[in-house]
Structure 1
Amino acid sequence: MRTPGAWSFLVPGFLARQPFAMLTIGIVLLVQHTTGSFAVAGAVSAATGISMALCAPQAGRLADRFGQRAVLVPGALLHAAAVSSLITLALLDAPLWALLLISVPTGATVPQIGPMVRARWAHRLSGSRLMPTAAAFESVTDEFTFVVGPVLATALCTGVHPAAGLTAEAILTVVGGLLFAAQSRTAPPAHGGSRPAGGRASALSVPGVRVLIVAFLGIGAVFGGMQVSLTAFTQSIGAPGANGLLYGVFAGGNMLAGIACGVVVWRSAPHQRLPRAYVLLALATAPLWFVASLGSAALVGAVGLLVGLAIAPALITGFTLVEQLVPAGARTEAFTWLTGSVALGQALAATTSGQLADGVGSAAGFLVPLAGTALAAVTVAVLRGRLAGPRTADGTPVVPSPSESEERVVARGEGHRIPVSVD
């Protein structure tokens, strides 16, 4: 936290990322209220998530090329306009096709604050041993956001007006987004003027990033599967009010593990830790279906805590690898590919878990997190060599070339100076 300029982007960044966690639940509560159908609400919410997953990397690439401010300011304003249109159509009882149509720009314009904050950390701490700690801090912040955001949106929708949650989401997007964009001093430099002769390479050109995208689908499967399956489970045992408590235990486990990962000084390389982290996550999700079939909320909560504890190592290690694998000019894009992958996995898992819960039983939805993490673990194990990145003949990692400004970055502590090197 002594990194120069850290607080200047962390505080507005925290405010600006709250809408990300409010959007889905706000759509579900509003559309379900106006249509009376969870299926319609889920479809509109899923369409928004898929649109965001597909468009977020493009926004990240534009931010790398032209700067975060150039993308964030118009994006926040367009998102507020799209959300306002969605609210209007829902309150006017518009048909499903109209709601699905407006959900596309709503998801496409979601500001990618989390990836932008991570890109600023990578810019300020390039080559530093503190980068895993920063990644852990961001994981804790994300999880705290997903605890606060849905609670705020739900309280507004149920206590004020069904559209109040989305209205607050749009206002926070504009206010938080503009405040964050104003902190241009800490933003990584735009790389639009340094286009290589062969054209600008996408983050997808890095083999390790492609592996991480597939792996992060598994993390999304956990989030989406847990949200829907816990809701179905608590309703099946006649205790729907326990849903928030059980999900809070799951999220709390993620936060605790994130804090622990941040204080540990790792001796092994991130590409060596990631396969083990995914095996651990798959093993943690394995008992979910069995304990849910027993109908015990206490057992589901206990296993959910273990799943939350297992998510953080996989999530943090994956984000840490981006700083090592991806050149500075494509890092924001790389981070948005990963967050978009989580969103896509979450949308697909939520839909699949809901269908299994309706067609087979409330416990069946818990099979989705297991399937998603098992496939991710196999992918990471088989392709783990690509996560190591390029190496010299003697096995030394080849660090992506930094920009000139990154080479001059120095993190100043209180009473001491810590040179940050890419060597």
Structure 2
Amino acid sequence: MTARRTVDDTLSPGTPAPAGPDAAPASAPARVGYAELLRTPGAWTFLVPAFAARLPYAMLSLGIVLLVLDTHGSYGTAGAVAAVSAVAQALVGPQTGRLADRHGQAAVLLPSVAVHAVSVAALIGLALGHAPAWALFAAAAPAGASVPQIGAMVRARWVSRLSDSPATLNTAFAFESVTDEFTFVVGPVLATAIATTVTPSAALIAEAALTVAGGLAFAAQRRTAPARHPRTAGGRGPSALSSPGVRLLAGAFLGVGTVFGAMQVSVTAFAESVGRAGASGTVYGIFAGGSMLAGVLYGLVAWRRSARSRMLGCYALLVLGCSTLWAMPNLTALSVAGLLCGLAIAPTLITGYTLVETLVSDGAKTEAFTWLTGAIGLGLAVGSTVAGRLIDSGGPSAGFLVPVVGAGLGLVALVALRGLLVAPRDAATAAPVRSASGAQAADDGLRAGVPAPAGTASRDADGTGPRQLVGAGTGH
């Protein structure tokens, strides 16, 4: 599907365009299925190694907890070491994303997997040697900081290959969010199984081995890698955080991360309080399963509404779902509430990644994706820490207050600052479209940096309709 085809599908010549960025187009865009997406030339060559390389992302924190708990016998120490790793990953990940945009993904991946392997090996050796906590922190920080940002790199590859097909790109983001959810279901199960059947250190050895093997195989697929955008001589390269919209979305994703972190701790504590500790995995699996199901279905819908309005709607549903968790009287009710809460997770993440792609230039897309991923990781660390303290002082149900507060603050920020989620070139008010050829000319002019003629339209970046018309009125 080409950009011109997208415009033709959403507006016919002479049809008035929507009056604002949240208005529905005259007709729904063509639906793009997963089968069509996976037929994209070269897709499987990077998807398979990417899955192997991103699976450890969901194994590292739990593997650290299981190892340190076994060697030091302290939940507090184990949690603190895992938190150091998560915070380092959240803070350094965007910087590696920026380097990948400038120098290429392979140039960043090769040293990253090497540092990660050495750091994990050092952490295992120190833990088995019963080293003091500060030494574990010193090893956990580089172990987390060097985690390859495979999810962001895969999304950047989809963008580079599907830039002329926004509807297919939206499906690709849905596919990636479902894959993320799947890894966060399989990863902890795999880490626990290895730790309990072999030794706790074996779980981290497996995590490092998958990271190295998958990372190297992914880096070898240079043909599908996005183009490099090196910094120009005497100038600064594009920065994702220079966009206020990216900063807003990172804050919103921080709120989503608190949901993940608080749910993990609170579900475990609730299950233990009713004498069914083994059921915590099932309850959290239902929560994650609801998100996976919603993500699959979300990617199959030809959405009429803009990505901005969908982001606000999905996030509001997330807050609504989180608001009931604290009041659930038993595990069955908690499972149902968790399922409803999970149904809003993947659509929120998919729409956020769709939006952020429209807010930054090509030279900052990987960095932008890593800021969102890092925000989730940082929120997870904050959410689990705060929920643990509330549980200690107020009981298991108190931990479920963290998701509603964290997500609620994110929603307030999104609603109050929603104007920041419109791409700079989309800020003009819409006007009638003259012809499909004029729409194509507008797209070509925008790519070349040439102002489009008044009264022409370019496509909406998420494939839901035309972009706001350029040179056709006052800013929105």
Which residue of structure 1 lines up, in the alignment, with residue 3 of structure 2? none
Which residue of structure 2 lines up, in the alignment, with residue 317 of structure 1? 351
Cα drift, residue 393 of structure 1: 3.6
Which residue of structure 2 lines up, in the alignment, with residue 57 of structure 1? 94
Cα drift, residue 99 of structure 1: 0.7
- State the distance in 2 between where 1:8 and 1:237 align: 47
8 Å CA contact 2:50–2:150 kept in 1: the answer is yes
Deviations 1:2-55 (A, max 9, x none): 211111111110111011010010000000000111110000000100000000
Which residue of structure 1 lines up, in the alignment, with residue 225 of structure 2? 187
- 3-state DSSP of counterpart to 1:81: helix
Q: Does residue 91 in structure 1 map to residue 128 in structure 2? A: yes
Larger radius of gyration, structure 1 or 2? Answer: 2
Correspondence list, 1:268-279, <5 A: 268-279=305-316
Correspondence list, 1:117-128, <5 A: 117-128=154-165
8 Å CA contact 1:250–1:308 kept in 2: the answer is yes
- 3-state DSSP of counterpart to 1:263: coil
- 3-state DSSP of counterpart to 1:130: helix
Which stretch of the first structure deviates more once superposed, 337-346 or 306-315?
Answer: 306-315
Cα drift, residue 197 of structure 1: 6.2
- State the distance in 1 between where 2:246 and 2:448 align: 20
8 Å CA contact 2:112–2:147 kept in 1: the answer is yes
Which residue of structure 1 lines up, in the alignment, with residue 195 of structure 2? 157
Aligned mate of 1:24, from 61, 66, 80: 61
Q: Does residue 102 in structure 1 map to residue 139 in structure 2? A: yes
Could you list the runs of 5+ residues in structure 1 that have no partner in the other structure?
405-420
- State the distance in 1 between where 2:427 and 2:312 align: 23
Quote the RMSD (CA, aligned, Å): 2.0
Amino acid at match of 1:153: A
Which stretch of the first structure deviates more once superposed, 21-30 or 194-203?
Answer: 194-203
- State the distance in 1 between where 2:45 and 2:66 align: 34
Structure 1 residues 302 and 44, CA, compared in 2 at 3 Å: closer, same or farther? same
Correspondence list, 1:281-360, <5 A: 281-291=318-328, 294=329, 296-360=330-394
Which residue of structure 2 lines up, in the alignment, with residue 114 of structure 1? 151
Deviations 1:349-382 (A, max 9, x none): 0000111111110110011110111000011101
Q: Normalising by structure 2, report the TM-score.
A: 0.82
Q: Normalising by structure 1, report the TM-score.
A: 0.92
8 Å CA contact 1:126–1:323 kept in 2: the answer is no
Q: How many residues of Structure 1 are paired with residues of Structure 2 in the alignment?
A: 403
Amino acid at match of 1:269: S
Amino acid at match of 1:375: L
Cα drift, residue 403 of structure 1: 9.5
Amino acid at match of 1:380: L
Correspondence list, 1:171-320, <5 A: 171-192=209-230, 195=232, 198-291=235-328, 294=329, 296-320=330-354
Cα drift, residue 275 of structure 1: 1.1
Which residue of structure 2 lines up, in the alignment, with residue 410 of structure 1? none
Deviations 1:205-251 (A, max 9, x none): 11110110000001101110100001110000100000110011001
Amino acid at match of 2:78: A
Structure 1 residues 107 and 394, CA, compared in 2 at 3 Å: closer, same or farther? same
Cα drift, residue 385 of structure 1: 0.5
Which residue of structure 1 lines up, in the alignment, with residue 176 of structure 2? 138
8 Å CA contact 1:327–1:402 kept in 2: the answer is no
Cα drift, residue 198 of structure 1: 4.1
Structure 1 residues 42 and 21, CA, compared in 2 at 3 Å: closer, same or farther? same
Which residue of structure 2 lines up, in the alignment, with residue 411 of structure 1? none
Which residue of structure 2 lines up, in the alignment, with residue 44 of structure 1? 81
Structure 1 residues 86 and 71, CA, compared in 2 at 3 Å: closer, same or farther? same
Identity score, percent: 56
Amino acid at match of 1:262: G
- 3-state DSSP of counterpart to 1:232: helix
Which residue of structure 1 lines up, in the alignment, with residue 28 of structure 2? none
Which stretch of the first structure deviates more once superposed, 84-93 or 197-206?
Answer: 197-206
- 3-state DSSP of counterpart to 2:194: helix
- 3-state DSSP of counterpart to 2:344: helix
- State the distance in 2 between where 1:48 and 1:402 align: 40
- State the distance in 1 between where 2:446 and 2:381 align: 35
- State the distance in 2 between where 1:50 and 1:160 align: 29
Could you list the runs of 5+ residues in structure 2 that have no partner in the other structure?
1-37, 432-438, 450-465, 470-476
8 Å CA contact 2:238–2:361 kept in 1: the answer is no
Amino acid at match of 1:130: T
Structure 1 residues 238 and 403, CA, compared in 2 at 3 Å: closer, same or farther? farther
Q: Does residue 362 in structure 1 map to residue 435 in structure 2? A: no
Cα drift, residue 253 of structure 1: 0.2
- State the distance in 2 between where 1:49 and 1:237 align: 30
